[in-house]
Chains A and B, each alone.
Chain A
Amino acid sequence: MAADQHQPTLTTSRLTLRPFDLSDAPAVQRQAGDRRVYQTTLRIPHPYKLADAESWLAGSARRYAEGQSIEFAATLTATGELVGCIGLEITPVHRHAELGYWIGPDHWSCGYATEAGRAILDFAFNTLGLHRVHVHHFAENTASARVIEKLGFQREGLARQHVYKDGQPIDIVLYGLLASQYMPQ
């Protein structure tokens, strides 16, 4: 991704996936700051301060320009409300990326993660030309497991006690999807 290229905006039936803006900080802080989001993710601090949201958002355009990652604000097309975040962390040499996402707890189980996930996979394979996308979740995070399954990923393994969070060892379930097996839904 060249620095002069602007991050695109993707649309689905209900969502607009657009680049983040600094003005998203309060909405990001409120939703990602919810303990329920913290509990099943690795890189979100808790408590999550407004300054944490601001510094993360301030780096988003740079991370895109450097080709490291691409992060989208998932917003409701009808109202513009921000409901979550979805992104890819890209390793260009291996032509693969890791998918990551969270949805604000007020908006869970409306199908948003799955809807956004489909758009991102289409973008990963058909626009970025990636060879593989992988994703993982904490073994107990059954909602994320369900999203991943609906997106068509294949389970590839379980890394036992691979991470440590709040004094607890956590099993990580690993999944992959290959461009050659990707079927748009």
Chain B
Amino acid sequence: MLTIPVLTSEQLILRPFETADVALVSRYAADPAVADRVSRSAIEYQSPEQWIDQQHVNFEEANYLTLAITQRAGGQLLGCITQTHYEADEHAELDYWIAKPYWNRGYATEAGRLMLDYTFDCWQLRRVFACHFATNPASGRVLEKLGFTREGVLRQHYCADNVFEDLVYWGLLRHEWARDRVHRRPV
């Protein structure tokens, strides 16, 4: 059986979710600061146990990898990051959210690097893409810091509560990630 990995960086530990996380996840994800900026499917689930079981099944089948973003010192849960794998096209889609009290400390970017390094190393990927609402420039900044290229804007593509949001589309190719990785590694 494959087990979901634990990934560690300077400030963060990304680890599998546990049942004990679920109450906090639900509260964080219900905050409009997060809920209004992510697609519905990202936070909808039937029951906590199912949500977690599903993550293990999906990882084994290499469909996606979801990890809890936690503080390395103290273990505080900060957010969630997911990489959805489309095997036939050898690409994946990156999604993430950080609870509002922890914004703008570099956590999403640091978690993104860990996820990209792991999935480019372990999955057959040529490309990772990500989308965000144009009204959410912080997410675009995270992708820019991760080395993504802005590839387009799908105008009024997404309707949430009768508001049509522009969707900004970003992509990162394997060779671009590999080049950036070399630059950030002290030899």
Using a CB–CB distance below 8 Å, which chain A residues touch chain B? 93-96, 131-132, 134, 154, 156-164, 169, 174, 176, 178
Contact = CB atoms under 8 A, between A and B. Distances in A.
Contact of A94 (B91, B153, B157, B173): B157
Main secondary structure of the interface of A (DSSP, over half): strand
28 contacts: A94-B157, A94-B158, A94-B159, A94-B164, A95-B159, A96-B157, A96-B159, A131-B159, A131-B164, A132-B155, A132-B156, A132-B157, A134-B157, A156-B155, A157-B154, A157-B169, A158-B151, A159-B151, A159-B169, A159-B171, A162-B89, A162-B129, A164-B88, A164-B91, A169-B127, A176-B155, A176-B157, A178-B155
B106 interface: no
A163 B127 CA distance: 9
Contacts of A178: 155-156
Contact of A160 (B90, B151, B157, B164): B151
B152 interface: yes
Interface of B: 88-91, 126-127, 129, 149, 151-159, 164, 169, 171, 173
Given A164-B88, A164-B90, A174-B169, A158 B156 contact: no
B159 A157 contact: no
A66 B178 CA distance: 45
Contacts of B157: 94, 96, 132, 134, 176
A162 B164 contact: no
Nearest to A159: B151
Contacts of B164: 94, 131-132
A12 B151 CA distance: 36
Nearest to A169: B126
Contacts of B153: 156-157
Nearest to A179: B156
B152 A157 contact: yes
A162 B159 contact: no
A94 B131 CA distance: 16
Contacts of A94: 157-159, 164
B178 to A, nearest CB: 14
B129 A164 contact: no
Contacts of A95: 159
A47 B159 CA distance: 39
Contacts of A156: 152-155
Nearest to B149: A160
A93 B89 contact: no
Nearest to A155: B152
Contact of A159 (B88, B129, B156): B129
B112 to A, nearest CB: 19
B137 to A, nearest CB: 17
Contacts of B171: 159-162
Nearest to A158: B151
Contact of A174 (B88, B91, B154): B154
Given A134-B154, A174-B152, A174-B154, A160 B159 contact: no
A93 B159 contact: yes
Pairs of residues from A and B, 6 with the lowest C-beta to C-beta distance, nearest first: A157-B152, A94-B159, A164-B89, A157-B151, A156-B152, A163-B89
Contacts of A131: 156, 159, 164
